[in-house]
Structure 1
């Protein structure tokens, strides 16, 4: 099997100069509902800000005004994004839609063109900070911080980058892309193809709670391999690895060639099995070290009746595989793929509602270093985010937490997959060597 080609490293932002305007608040064009928006127990644990960029090769002279005016119009439909977080009488996060402080909007100009920025799938923190406006209140005063910010950066040769920072408690990736695509439809003068639904009470916990378990996802893993010291001693580096269709087919063949394969194995499952095993080896996990793989799975279609297409919120759960690394290293990769496929298949309505009940009762504890969360963005439909001058040439985000891995589309060929993860320096070099050649 040919080796996966490492994609170009993220560009250092030291040479990038961006001049920004003072943020102005964009409000919904028309009066919108007040009151408070219920946030589910899944929303409660997703209280982090996610930054993304949409990179356009060309734009119009009035592109900034078009995007800004369309934002005001789309906020009529997505009005909770113009509000702020608050606490309910039970101490839970809710959205105060009466506090209509709007969305901070920044205009900017950069001294480069899109080509000079290279691969934008994973951005260096300095670059991300220059292309995405993050409100200073976000870190210390999250309940007064905006739920959404927007920055439009004009580039040389007509290019343009739209950078947004969105609080994850408002939406998962599927809902976020639908919002962006609705925004772009309005910019083109089109009606919304999907009208958002803001009623999240369909995902309220059941009373009394009906928790079916046990849940391996909530097992707390001890660090018996001294990984904490490795992360403290060495620089954490982020790298990306490119798998084209030929390499993906080879990985899939490897994951189905040995062992008893009981179900269909997708390229995602095969690649996930490969990455989980290689990362565990690279971190030198001891045989008796527990290791956990967890994957976000959309459950919209699993409920009866299914959640409406316009649902705006978080509708994912995180099934997991838990085992000792000795088992993981000894078993054929086909057996690892079987574990993963079986975990994904466990997600049904009972599983999702039980998970909602569990989170409401017990809350969420941060994953240990022995855990790997693999999230795939390869099917997010950002390619139709056309504001009037064509689809984005690239789509990207910032560097990843230590326990996360991201699968993204190739920036030249959308059928390719780019695997992005962070590891201590020595572990990253080992991880790269462990990828099949």
Structure 2
């Protein structure tokens, strides 16, 4: 952890978490509880470390479909790309934007044109998948594979039908309870698809990881491989892959108070040497209908997004934060 005091009197609190030990839900639980303790208030949720609630079945059993979500991790024999080439186009950089609620509603409407309403997350993921594919088609990466993955929290799903006590225990579980289903398409195909067509693809692969049975299978699958490092299938190759994670339900803005008032802004950050592409949506501190979007993407894709989707992704600044 690091606390930095600014000349204006403000304070920046930074916490670094290892994703092998805790997911975003757990990190949010830790910071929220820390804030409550500093206000001399009892924690609203005590973390649970009972690993037994995630115990595998005996004998272990799982669907072959788990192989479409995770794979054994094999360290690369050489870098996926030379970040010094192409004027730094492949160098991964970090940027933060905000998306107005009106734009989110518009994208959701376009993604639902096939007659089936899609969630804002599904619509946003579809839009991002398409814009990344368009960036690839606009460069020398034309007609290559483009993958997108979504992080799915299994806490509420694993407690379905097991009573209120199990539900509370799962809700307070500290650790990793994630699945990462993904879709894979060639960039040229995504370029030619409508947003609603892409949204159907997103919805379909997402549904494979939203059931209790899926997470029970995943526990068993991991148990048989627990001594080996695992990776989401979307990142098991050198193809363009983007992970999308939703943090819009986290209490970063509405409840986070260390005793001197609610936080003005909160976000995640991925170290610059990480070579995987990551996007996280967060609640806005100024407008409940807006989203804050953190991005860790190659400079080439980021510049394309800013050039062709500036109506959607607007750079976060002090004026928006009202500071």
Interval containing the TM-score (normalised by the shorter chain): 0.7 to 0.9
Measure the CA separation in 1 of the matches of 2:71 and 2:267: 32
Residue aligning to 1:291: 146
Measure the CA separation in 1 of the matches of 2:279 and 2:268: 12
Residue aligning to 1:132: none
More moved, 293-302 vs 150-159:
150-159
Retained in 2: the 8 A contact 1:175–1:313? yes
1:329 is aligned to 2:191 = yes
Residue aligning to 1:370: 240
In angstroms, what is the RMSD of aligned CA positions? 2.7
1:395 is aligned to 2:301 = no
Q: Measured at CA, do residues 386 and 421 of structure 1 come closer, stay the same or move farther in structure 2, by a change above 3 Å?
A: closer
Deviation at 1:283, TM superposition (A): 2.6
SS at match of 1:249: helix
Residue aligning to 2:100: 244
Superposition TM-score, scaled by structure 1 size: 0.57
**Consecutive unaligned residues in structure 1, runs of 5 or more:** 1-149, 221-226
Measure the CA separation in 1 of the matches of 2:301 and 2:18: 31
1:357 is aligned to 2:220 = yes
**Where do 4+ consecutive residues of structure 1 move more than 6 Å?**
none
Superposition TM-score, scaled by structure 2 size: 0.76
SS at match of 1:328: helix
Query: Larger Rg: 1 or 2?
Result: 1
Out of 229, 252, 257, the position equivalent to 1:386 is 257
Retained in 1: the 8 A contact 2:46–2:172? yes
SS at match of 1:397: coil
Measure the CA separation in 2 of the matches of 1:240 and 1:165: 18
Measure the CA separation in 2 of the matches of 1:196 and 1:229: 41
Q: How many residues align?
A: 278
Measure the CA separation in 2 of the matches of 1:254 and 1:436: 18
Q: Measured at CA, do residues 301 and 422 of structure 1 come closer, stay the same or move farther in structure 2, by a change above 3 Å?
A: closer
1:168 is aligned to 2:19 = yes
Measure the CA separation in 2 of the matches of 1:391 and 1:297: 28
Measure the CA separation in 1 of the matches of 2:242 and 2:95: 16
Which structure has the higher relative contact order (CA within 8 Å, separation 6+)? Answer: 2
Retained in 1: the 8 A contact 2:70–2:180? no
Retained in 2: the 8 A contact 1:261–1:338? no
Retained in 1: the 8 A contact 2:153–2:177? yes
**Consecutive unaligned residues in structure 2, runs of 5 or more:** 73-78, 312-323
Deviation at 1:409, TM superposition (A): 3.0
SS at match of 1:427: helix
Deviations 1:189-232 (A, max 9, x none): 22222122110122133344312123322479xxxxxx955755
Measure the CA separation in 2 of the matches of 1:209 and 1:290: 34
1:408 is aligned to 2:264 = no
Deviations 1:98-130 (A, max 9, x none): xxxxxxxxxxxxxxxxxxxxxxxxxxxxxxxxx
Residue aligning to 2:319: none
Measure the CA separation in 2 of the matches of 1:320 and 1:332: 19
Retained in 1: the 8 A contact 2:69–2:179? no
Deviation at 1:370, TM superposition (A): 2.2
